Amino acid sequence: MDFLKKHYEKILLTVVLLGSVGLLVAMPFFIKADQEDAENHKTIFLHGKVTPLPDLDMGLENQLSQRLNGSFNLDLETTNKLFNPLEWQKTLDGRLIKKEDIGSKALTIVKINPLYLILKLDKVETNEPVARYLIGVVKQAAVKVSAQHVQHRGVSLGDKANDTFELLSVKGAPESPDQLIMKLVDSNETITLTPDKPYQRVDGYSVDLRYDPERKSFPARRVGASITFAGEEYNIVAISEDEVILSAQSNQKRTKLRYAPTP
């Protein structure tokens, strides 16, 4: 009894603390039980158990927000013809094209074709005192159409030069030569011609052109040819392996077109 009288306050405090700890330990179980009970008693008059609302669809709002935050590009070139700062022109088939896309700058090179000078030993004639050699000559770059096809030149050793070549010497038997040594008249170049290997060199070029706005094609045009497009006539004044130069007949203005062949 004396012990209780002396320590009753400590004993009472200990009991209270133990009770508090027990209450705290049991609290989650009480809360869970209350939540389950509350969930079971969620009712709306005449409607039974309440169904949770679906998630709010914010897709449209998010799209509008993204559009507002992003940049806005106004197309005044392809869709808007009222406030368009560019000049437009209608083609013969009714298409609209920008005025800057017509004329000589809209002419494109489809292909540049090399034109060759070709010499070939076609025949050896031995029914004369001196062997005579029949040489086929093709000048693809010639202005005359006839010269663009095979023309034969008969030549014997010691003959003067013709309009294309001069025979300098013959290697091997005259009636069955291994080589003909010749000099070209226009370049003074010495060349070798054999029975099985013709000689050829690039003498010029022709060009295939296309003008898309009017859907016109100009195949195999040579230097000096004239072509007409976009209401203007042009002369082809030069063709190289990678460039074509045009001259407008109205004002002699020249236009250079570069050729970039596709691999």
The predicted model gives 63-78 an average pLDDT of 71
| pLDDT mean across residues, the chain | 83
Whole-angstrom distance, CA of residue 258 vs CA of residue 243:
5
The more confident residue out of 215 and 70 is 215
Query: Is residue 5 over pLDDT 70?
Result: no
- For Cα atoms 106, 203, 241, give the angle at the middle one, nearest 5 degrees: 35
Query: Is residue 101 over pLDDT 90?
Result: no
Beta bridge partners of 194: 197
Tens of pLDDT, residue by residue over 166-203, are 999 999 999 999 999 999 999 999 999 999 999 999 99
Instruction: Give me the residue spans of the domains in the chain.
Output: 1-72, 96-112+204-258, 114-203
Q: Note the pLDDT of residue 128.
A: 82
Q: Note the pLDDT of residue 138.
A: 95
Q: Note the pLDDT of residue 144.
A: 87
Q: Note the pLDDT of residue 46.
A: 46
Q: Note the pLDDT of residue 243.
A: 95
Query: Is residue 40 over pLDDT 90?
Result: no
Tens of pLDDT, residue by residue over 211-236, are 988 889 999 999 999 999 888 899 99
Which residue has tokens 């022109």? 89
Rounded to two decimals, the pTM is 0.60
Neighbour tally for 53: CB within 10 Å: 6
Read off φ and ψ for residue 205, nearest 5 degrees: -145, 150
pLDDT band for 82, please (50, 70, 90 cuts).
Answer: low
